[in-house]
Amino acid sequence: MSENKPSTDKYKNILSATYIIPLVKNKAGINTTLDTDLALINQKIGNLQVKINPNNFINNSLKKFWKMKFLEHKVNIANKSLANGKRQLNLINQRFKSNLVDKSDVLLQTNNYQNQNISLMEAQRELQNLTGIKIKNNDLKLEKIIDVVDGLEINNLNTIKILEFKKTKIHREMRSLSNQSKPKVDLSLGMQTVRSSKSIFSSSTKNDNILSVGFSIAFPLKKSLNSGLISKKQNELRILNLSKKDKILELQDSNDSSLMQLSALKKILDINKEQLIINTTKTQEFEKKYANGNTELRYMIESQINEQNVKLSYFSNLFKYHSLQLDYKNLLF
């Protein structure tokens, strides 16, 4: 009978490696990749917020520009009215010297001229307060009105996208919390290589390779370790869903309101244009009548003031239109 002789090898090198595959808890790395996944979602939310903030700044800057344009028109109107008032005052003074008009006409037109001078200075002050620079007179043309059509697509709005990403973030956290409460079932694959020799300098070595497969199962002591955290996340999700519904209703109401206001302002501007033509013609007729002595000065001045007010009303409504248009475009962002 042969006997198993004990090994006489004195030196051994052992190299082992084990690969563990989670089958239930942390399956596919759902828990170990949580921080990375949340960081990626936060980055997407941050990217959208970075877009929104500059867009608000641009929107406010453009509204300031349109306000500046309105005030420039206001200065221009006041400047033209003052020049016309000065011309009328000179003519009336000449007619007074020729005994063609009463002193009351001179006083009335002088008062009108001073009021126009005050209007010009106030308009210039408003413009300088806005821009911080001294304004020179310039001849400005009427801006073109651009029609606005309904372009609201709720799911493409950045504010809604941010809410959706926040919901995705909570869902991702809940998946990990739920998975962490499951049993730990791991499949382990191991391999070991043993090199043995009689001497450290020996060239004669013996290799033994060992492959191992095993399962390990561990059950949590409680039924759900994270039930409280999951409930909290569910409440957060319900709040987000309600916030999204409220935001959608708010955006739809703002959309409808803006379109109605823009449509109404466009009609008002069309009426203002007609009023401009009518009042300009009326003022010209009163100036002719007064020059021929067929009407009183106060009627001519009243017509001039009405014409100036209609121009200011037009440009004021134009400014409102462009401002509302910018707000509407910002709503769609």
pLDDT for the residue numbered 198: 61
Of 110, 115, 137, give the one whose Cα is nearest residue 124: 137
Pairwise CA distance, residues 66 & 169, whole Å: 41
Helical ranges in the chain per DSSP H = 34-97, 103-131, 158-180, 227-291, 297-331
pLDDT of amino acid 184? 75
Instruction: From residue 118, give the alpha-carbon distance in Å to each of 79, 125, 135, 326.
Output: 11, 11, 16, 32
What is the radius of gyration, based on Cα positions, of the chain?
42
Q: Quick one: tokens of 273?
A: 């244009």
Give exposure, 245-258, as e/b (b: 16+ Cβ within 10 Å): eebbeebeeebeeb
- Answer yes or no: are the C-beta atoms of 41 and 165 closer than 8 Å: yes
In terms of Cβ atoms closer than 10 Å to its own Cβ (0-12, 13-18, 19+), residue 273 is: middle
How many other CB atoms are found less than 10 A from the CB of residue 142? 13
pLDDT recorded at residue 264: 92
Return all residues near 109 (Cβ < 8 A) that are at least 6 apart: 85, 88, 89, 92, 297, 301
- The confidence score (pLDDT) of residue 207 equals 67
- pLDDT at residue number 139: 44
pTM, to two decimals: 0.69
For 125, other C-beta atoms within 10 Å of its C-beta total 12
> Which residue is associated with the tokens 């308009």?
123
Tell me the pLDDT of the chain (333 aa) as tens digits. Answer: 444 455 555 556 666 676 666 766 777 778 888 889 899 999 999 888 888 877 778 888 888 888 888 888 899 999 999 999 999 899 889 988 988 888 999 999 899 999 999 999 998 888 888 866 454 444 444 456 666 667 778 888 888 999 999 999 999 998 888 887 777 766 677 777 767 666 655 555 666 777 767 667 767 666 556 778 888 899 999 999 999 999 899 989 988 998 999 999 999 999 999 999 999 999 999 989 988 888 888 999 999 999 999 999 999 998 899 889 888 888 887
- Residues ≥6 apart with Cβ < 8 Å to 317: 265, 268, 269, 272
Tell me which DSSP letter residue 149 carries.
-
Q: What is the pLDDT of residue 137?
A: 45
- pLDDT at residue 239, as a whole number: 93
C-alpha pair distances (Å), 265 with each of 144, 192, 246, 271: 14, 83, 28, 10
**Which of 74, 141, 69 lies closest to 309, judged by CA?**
74
Q: How many CB atoms lie within 10 A of CB 195?
A: 14
The pLDDT value recorded for residue 141 is: 47
